[in-house]
């Protein structure tokens, strides 16, 4: 028994080292202060080493993993991106190989875990990654506001890729140290959800004060970033938690109450979104007022105002509608690749060769390398078979939730509700950005890692729970 406990402790320690390395790698690559820095390379190789070790271990225990339906579905999903890469090998083959590796990491390394994990072990994994993630966003947000107060606004260009990114307050938005303000805002929204759980869980007043302050500064970053995607993620996260909680309370009641719960959730999401947008107006009015007092009304304060009118004045979708329309045009034009797609790194090259007038390659901003919608990304990249295989995976996850939710112990119900709200809200963000399949960021890692542990947690609550 002692040996078993020791082995579990070793496994727990190894898991924490592994996920820490992955998060550090993703964080450094998503940070304006470290983007393109040589320090990323050894951490990348460390992450790859862990991946190979974990993958080898799971291959040795393949029979155990084949006992659950998700393994077959995951193999089908991975096969589609592999087929698409081979079929479209004339278009960005090397880059597509990288995305194949990403998908293996998402599904087989981050998501997949032992289904006989105890609820205690699942909670330990979720708790640890939450602490690391919130610590990262807290430091990043503080650094971002320091840059704001210092008046920093710099545009840099990466030496190797010529990719331009900003530092500080640029173009009416707070980028801060996040290489992309939308991704930064989404990270803050996820952290707010985690902090809300901590606020509820801890009873000591001073701890609640700390968590409350942290929630506030994360919320203010979302406001200053002027990210509608971040506001959507926060709104959906709050609404989905309330919906899960209410449905849990009225599970044996009339259908009309459940329908009213959905209406309530939509109303809460809308109210939360509007509130974030109104905070922007309040902040701008406050900045104008204070600046007017300091400068005695003689200073133009436009540089301090949160206003991204530069990119949405003529298009509320910020070009997304044009990008989506163009993506569909390219997909329909490639009739011979409808089944297997054009590959993620290949559809832009295909459009440039065959449809040079379409928007994703003929615009004022340069070639579009993503369609800012994961459903369209999958459809055009992996074709119908790829889309259907991912749909099967999504249906499986939904089935796991509905099948096992009723068996959750009373003390864990609200915990599950809150933790489920994170992948649900990130899935909502995936409708407007690439955060699930075609991007390697802290948000992506959190999505797949939490989704896998929550799946194992739900199954464990029904069959192997050590809390009952």
Q: In whole angstroms, what is the distance from residue 175 CA to residue 171 CA?
A: 9
Cβ count near 185 (within 10 Å):
30
Query: What's the total number of domains in the chain?
Result: 1
The label of the residue with tokens 């952290």 reads 191
Q: In whole angstroms, what is the distance from residue 119 CA to residue 58 CA?
A: 21
* Buried/exposed code over 104-138 (b: 16+ C-beta within 10 A; e: otherwise): bbbbbbbbbbebebbbebbbbbbeebbebbbebbb
> How far, in Å, are 22, 250, 439 from residue 167 at the CA level?
24, 48, 21
Kindly list the averaged pLDDT for each block of 10 residues, start to end, along the chain of length 468: 56 83 90 84 89 85 72 90 90 87 90 75 87 94 91 78 78 87 92 90 90 93 88 87 73 61 67 69 57 47 54 56 87 82 86 86 76 89 92 90 79 81 90 83 92 85 55
The answer to whether 371 and 324 are in contact (CB under 8 A) is yes
**Residue 468 covered by a domain:** no
- In the chain the first and final C-alpha atoms are separated, in Å, by 20
> How far, in Å, are 138, 321, 392 from residue 112 at the CA level?
28, 35, 16
Confidence at residue 4, expressed as pLDDT on a 0 to 100 scale: 46
Work out whether the CA dihedral 178, 183, 186, 191 comes out positive or negative: negative
Spatial CB neighbours of 73, under 8 Å, sequence gap ≥ 6:
389, 392, 393, 396
Confidence at residue 56, expressed as pLDDT on a 0 to 100 scale: 87
**Residue 246 covered by a domain:** yes
Domain that holds residue 114: 16-463
Confidence at residue 206, expressed as pLDDT on a 0 to 100 scale: 92
Strand order in the sheet with 164-170: 153-157, 164-170, 173-176
* CA angle, residues 354, 358, 359, in degrees to nearest 5: 145
**Residue 2 covered by a domain:** no
DSSP state of 31: B
DSSP state of 303: G
The string of pLDDT tens digits covering residues 98-135 is 889 989 999 988 988 776 667 778 888 888 999 999 99
Q: In whole angstroms, what is the distance from residue 360 CA to residue 368 CA?
A: 5
Spatial CB neighbours of 265, under 8 Å, sequence gap ≥ 6:
239, 240, 242, 243, 246
**Residue 371 covered by a domain:** yes
**Residue 132 covered by a domain:** yes
Q: What is the DSSP annotation of 56-121? A: HHHHHTHHHHTTSHHHHHHHHHHHHHHHHHHHTTTTTHHHHHHHHHHHHIIIIIII---TT--HHH
**Residue 5 covered by a domain:** no
**Residue 4 covered by a domain:** no
**Residue 106 covered by a domain:** yes
> How far, in Å, are 2, 119, 176 from residue 199 at the CA level?
35, 21, 26
The strand ranges marked E within 146-302 are 153-157, 164-170, 173-176
């Amino acid at each position: 028994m002692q040996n078993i406990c020791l082995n579990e402790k070793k496994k727990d320690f190894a898991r924490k080292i592994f996920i820490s390395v992955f998060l550090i790698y993703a964080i450094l690559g998503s940070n304006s202060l470290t983007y393109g820095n040589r320090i990323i390379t050894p951490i990348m190789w460390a992450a790859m080493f862990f991946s190979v070790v974990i993958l080898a271990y799971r291959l040795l225990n393949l029979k155990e993993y084949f006992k659950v339906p998700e393994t077959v579905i995951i193999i089908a999903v991975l096969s589609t991106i592999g087929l698409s890469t081979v079929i479209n090998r004339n278009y960005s083959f090397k880059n597509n190989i990288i995305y194949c590796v990403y998908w293996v990491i998402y599904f087989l390394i981050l998501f997949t875990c032992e289904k006989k994990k105890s609820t205690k072990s699942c909670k330990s994994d979720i708790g640890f990654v939450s602490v690391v993630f919130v610590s990262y966003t807290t430091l990043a947000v503080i650094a971002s506001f320091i840059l704001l107060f210092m008046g920093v606004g710099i545009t840099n260009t990466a030496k190797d890729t010529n990719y331009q990114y900003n530092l500080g307050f640029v173009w009416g938005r707070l980028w801060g140290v996040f290489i992309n303000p939308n991704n930064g805002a989404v990270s803050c929204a996820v952290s707010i959800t985690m902090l809300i759980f901590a606020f509820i869980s801890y009873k000591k007043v001073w701890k609640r004060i700390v968590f409350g302050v942290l929630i506030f500064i994360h919320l203010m970053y979302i406001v200053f970033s002027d990210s509608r995607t971040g506001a959507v993620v926060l709104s959906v996260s709050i609404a989905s938690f309330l919906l899960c909680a209410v449905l849990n309370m009225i599970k044996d009641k009339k259908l009309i109450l459940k329908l009213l719960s959905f209406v309530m959730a939509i109303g809460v999401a809308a109210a939360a979104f509007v509130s974030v947008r109104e905070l922007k107006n309040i902040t701008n009015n406050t900045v104008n007022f204070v600046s007017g007092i300091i400068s005695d009304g003689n200073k133009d304060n436009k540089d301090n105002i949160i206003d991204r009118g530069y990119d949405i004045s003529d298009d509320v979708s910020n070009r997304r509608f044009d990008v989506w329309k163009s993506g569909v045009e390219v997909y329909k034009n490639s009739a011979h690749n409808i089944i297997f797609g054009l590959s993620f790194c290949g559809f832009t090259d295909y459009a440039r060769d065959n449809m040079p007038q379409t928007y994703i390659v003929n615009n004022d901003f340069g070639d579009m390398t993503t369609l800012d919608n994961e459903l369209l990304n999958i459809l055009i990249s992996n074709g119908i078979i790829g889309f259907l295989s991912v749909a099967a995976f999504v249906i499986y996850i939904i089935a796991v939730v509905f099948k096992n939710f009723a068996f959750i112990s009373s003390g864990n119900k609200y915990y599950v509700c809150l933790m489920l709200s994170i992948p649900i809200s990130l899935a909502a963000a995936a409708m407007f950005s690439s955060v699930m399949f075609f991007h390697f960021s802290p948000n992506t890692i959190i999505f797949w890692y939490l989704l896998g542990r929550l799946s194992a947690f739900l199954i464990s609550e029904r069959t192997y729970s050590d809390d009952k």
